[in-house]
Structure 1
Amino acid sequence: MWFEARKQEKKIRSIMIDHKKRAERRRLFYERIVSCLHFKMYHLFLQCKIIFHALRWNFLILFVEAYAAEDPDVQKQVI
C-alpha cells in the first residue's frame, strides 16, 4: 500500500543522506591524512636519500677494494 511505499522512500532517503555524510567525512579524513603524509614522506625521503647514498658509497668502496685486491696496479692508483 501507499504507507509501505512511503516507509521505503524514507528508508532510501535516510540511506542516501547517510551515504553523503559518510562520503564527506571520508573525504575530509583522507585529505587530512594526505597532507600529513606529504609532510612525513618529505622528511622520510630526505632520510632515505642520505641512507641510500651512504649505502651506494659503501658498495662502491667495497667494489673498488675487491677489484684492487685482484690487481696490484689498480691498488696503487686507488690508494
Structure 2
Amino acid sequence: MQMIINGNAPVDLTGLNKRDIKDIERSMEKERVRLESEGFDEHQNTVLMNAIYHALVITKKLNKEKYTPKKYRKNNQFNNTLGREG
C-alpha cells in the first residue's frame, strides 16, 4: 500500500496496519493544530507536515521492527536456523 501526499514521492506503507496508519493520522492532526497556533503560513505548514509525515512513517516502521519479539518476526534468521518457519 502506498500513499501520495501533495504530489510528492510516494511513501511506502508496507508493514503498517490500519491501526498504525490511524495512529499516524492522529499524530498528524495534533501537529497540524500545533503548527497553526505557531503562525506559519500555508506553504510552511505544508512543507513541515510532509516532513513530519515521512518521519512518523519511518519511525513507526523502525519501532515495529525493533520492539516485535523475535518469535513473531517474519523472515527471522534465528527461527530459520532452527528449521522453523517464521
TM-score, length of structure 2 as denominator length: 0.35
* Structure whose residues are more often strand by fraction: 2
Flag the structure with larger Rg: 1
* Structure whose residues are more often helix by fraction: 1
Higher relative contact order (CA 8 A, sep 6+): 2
TM-score, length of structure 1 as denominator length: 0.37
